[in-house]
Amino acid sequence: MKPGALLTLLLTILVAFSISGCLGSIRHEAHSGRMIDPIVSTEWLDANSHLEDLFIIDIRDPVDYAAGHIPGSINEPFVTSNDSCTGPSSNWITGTKDCVWLEIPDGNDLFRFIGELGITKDSRVVIVTSPNPNEPPLFGIANALRVADTLIYAGVKNVAALDGGYPKWALEGRSTTKEVPTLKSSAYQSEINKTMFVSMDYVNKQIGKAIIIDARDEIDYSGQSGDRTGGGHISTAVSLPAAWIWNHNPDGTYTYKDPKTLAELISPVIGRSEDSKSQEIIVYCGVGGYASAWWYILTQVLGYDGVKIYDGSAQEWIRDHDMVID
């Protein structure tokens, strides 16, 4: 083959890979069967935002969305109301009558509102977020993974989080708009993942059998924070703070650590062997947010199969059980 023809062929292949989204998997290991990398870069989204099956969901506050957002993105806020008992709520999260926060909504409610967004089981979805004022910045960043988990729970498999969120997109000078796209709703029906979330009773029975991970900060795990969810941790639980997932960059943005670094961080807790990827792991935190972040990283980025979320987390556990301090 002549050099010129070879160069043309290589460029054609490169463009094809870019359009199909394959370049988005350079930094992260995609979970098997995915059509999109679990963490996508701003470069990838900028190059692929035209794809017909791609939905960009901006979960920031409506005021922030109205001030400027990624073109084509749909605003579906993570929090739309707040109550002293049931806590923050929206289409993504709900609270219970006995004041347990951040619980997964009913499956039929999820199906209805996912359909209203126009998302199908075959859609590719990118979640966009940012830190929220007056709360720890990682709360807002972690919310993207809670939303991603919720979509996966409801049967939407090709979900991704935007690395660096909206702050990185804006800081890089990428295109923004104030125009709101028109939604094309559709009927959505699927099956929920019944093994993804587990109850307090289930966790209690698995103590000493499953690996239990406490995703709160070390100060909460050790009982030194005075947090409302109680001092100490569930018996046998090991500390793996969700804050370790992200880099805090000099420009103020938060980006995900690469898979190799994440695997090295968890290996002292979970182990390095391939067998460890199928063992049962239960993750909890204060109210369910940080636990969701580790579930996503472990299952979608690192390929662990036996991970479950204890959604009630410490807020529920302390009502019937004591925490322990090693």
pLDDT class of 227 with cuts at 50, 70, 90: confident
Residue 20 pLDDT > 60: no
Instruction: Please count the CA atoms within 13 angstroms of the CA of 172 that sit on its side-chain side.
Output: 16
Q: Are residues 281 and 166 in the same domain?
A: no
Give 184's DSSP letter. -
Give the pLDDT confidence score for residue 10 in this predicted structure. Answer: 43
Look at residue 11 in the predicted model and tell me its pLDDT: 43
In a domain, 189, yes or no: no
What is the CB neighbour count within 10 angstroms for residue 265? 16
Instruction: For residues 135 and 262, state if they share a domain.
Output: no
Structure confidence by residue, pLDDT tens digits, 47-63: 999 999 999 999 999 99
Whether 167 and 270 map to the same domain: the answer is: no
Q: CA 190, CA 111: separation in Å to the nearest integer?
A: 7
Domain membership of residue 220 (yes or no) is: yes
Is 302 found in the same domain as 210? Answer: yes
Q: Two tokens at 212? A: 């239990």
Residue 188 domain-assigned (yes or no): no
Going by C-alpha positions, the residue among 78, 83, 86 that lies closest to residue 143 is 78
Each residue's pLDDT tens digit, 113-172: 999 999 999 999 999 999 999 999 999 999 999 999 999 999 999 999 999 999 999 999
Q: Is residue 183 part of a domain?
A: no
Q: What is the pLDDT of residue 225?
A: 82
Do 240 and 266 touch, CB atoms closer than 8 A? yes
Does any domain span residue 177?
no
DSSP assignment of 96-137, as one string?
-TT---SBPPPHHHHHHHHHHHT--TT-EEEEE--PPTTS-H
Give the model's pLDDT for residue 32: 59
Domain co-membership, 124 together with 269: no
Residue 205 reports pLDDT greater than 90: yes
Nearest to 60 by CA among 86, 83, 29, 90: 90
In a domain, 176, yes or no: no
Residues 261 and 147 in one domain: no
CATH number reported for the structural domain that contains residue 228 in this entry: 3.40.250.10
- 208 and 151 fall within a common domain: no
pLDDT of 226: 74
How many domains does the chain fold into?
2
253: domain range?
197-320
- 246-248 and 254-256 beta bridge pairing: antiparallel
* Residues 232, 283 within the same domain: yes
Whether the pLDDT of residue 21 is over 90: the answer is no
Cβ atoms 300, 31 nearer than 8 A: yes
Shared-domain flag, residues 142 and 19: yes
Q: Does 160 lie in the same domain as 101? A: yes
Nearest CA among 289, 270, 244 for reference residue 87 = 289
Same domain, 21 and 138: yes
My answer on whether 132 and 207 are in the same domain is no
pTM here is 0.90
**Position 233 in a domain:** yes
C-alpha of 112 from chain center: 21
CA angle 151, 146, 279 (to 5 degrees): 90
| pLDDT reported for residue 139 | 97
